Chain A
Amino acid sequence: MAKEFEPNIIGFLCNWCSYAGADLAGTSRMKYPPNIKSIRVMCSGRVDPVFVLEALRKGADGVLIGGCHPGDCHYQSGNYKANRRMKLLKKLLEELAIDPGRLRFEYISASEGAKFASVATEFVDQLKKIGPNPLKEVKK
Chain B
Amino acid sequence: MSKEKKEKKDKKKLQLAFYWAASCGGCEIAVLDIDEKVLDVVAVADILFWPVAMDFKYKDVEAMKDNQIDVCFFNGGIRNSEQEHIAKLLRKKSKVMVAFGACAVLGGIPGLANVTNKEEIFDVVYKNNPSIDNPKKVVPKTNVKVKEGTLTLPEFYESVSKLDQVIDVDYYLPGCPPTPDLIMTAVGAIVEGKLPPKGSVIGPLKSVCDECRFEKSEKRIKEIKRIYEVDKIEDKCLLEQGIICMGPATRGSCEARCLDANMPCTGCGGPTPNALDQGAKMISALASVIGIDGEENMSDAEVEKLIDQIVDPVGTFYKYGLPAALINRRLDK
Query: Which of B300, B327, B333 touches A98 (beta carbons < 8 Å)?
Result: B327
C-alpha gap A48/B287 in the complex (Å): 11
Q: Is the CB of B327 within 8 A of A80?
A: no
B312 to chain A, nearest CB (A): 7
A53, CB-defined interface residue at 8 Å: yes
- A84-105 CB contacts (< 8 Å) to partner B: 84-85, 87-89, 91-92, 95-98
Cα(A80)–Cα(B292), bound, Å: 8
Interface residues of A toward B: which range?
A: 20 to 34
- CB–CB B115/A85 < 8 A: no
Q: Assess whether B276 is in contact with A50, with CB atoms less than 8 Å apart.
A: yes
Interface-lining segment among B1-9, B96-104, B162-170, B277-285: B277-285
| Nearest CB of A to B320, in Å | 16
Instruction: Determine if A80 and B296 form an interchain contact, defined as CB atoms under 8 angstroms apart.
Output: yes
Q: Which residues of A contact B314 (CB under 8 A)?
A: 92, 95-96
Chain B: which residue is nearest A48 at the CB level?
Answer: B284
Q: Chain B contacts of A34 at CB under 8 A?
A: none
Q: Which of A71, A85, A95 contacts B288 (CB 8 A)?
A: A85
Q: How far is the CB of B310 from chain A (nearest CB, A)?
A: 6
Interface string of B111-137 (1 = CB under 8 A from A): 000010000000000000000000000
B289-333 interface code vs A (CB 8 A; 1 in, 0 out) = 011100110101001101110101110010000000111011111
- SS of A interface (majority): helix
Chain A residues with Cβ below 8 Å from B212 are none
Q: Is the CB of B296 within 8 A of A84?
A: no
Contact with A84, one of B275, B291, B317, B330 (Cβ below 8 angstroms): B291
Query: Nearest B residue to A57 by beta-carbon distance?
Result: B326
Closest CB of chain A to B113's CB: distance in Å?
Answer: 14
Docked complex Cα distance between A53 and B279 (Å): 10
B-side contacts of A84, CB under 8 Å: 287-288, 290-291, 303, 306-307
Complex-state Cα separation, A34 to B287, whole angstroms: 32
Q: Is A56's beta carbon under 8 Å from chain B?
A: yes
- Ordered by A's residue number, 11 sampled pairs between the chains whose C-beta atoms are within 8 Å are A49-B280, A49-B284, A50-B277, A53-B325, A81-B287, A84-B287, A84-B290, A84-B291, A92-B279, A92-B317, A96-B115
Closest 6 CB pairs of A and B: A49-B280, A92-B313, A97-B332, A84-B287, A85-B287, A53-B326
- Given A50-B277, A88-B313, 8 new contacts (CB under 8 A): A53-B326, A77-B295, A84-B291, A84-B303, A89-B283, A95-B314, A96-B330, A97-B331
Which residues of A come within 8 Å of B, CB atoms?
Answer: 45, 48-50, 52-54, 56-57, 70-71, 77, 80-81, 83-85, 87-89, 91-92, 95-98, 134-135, 138
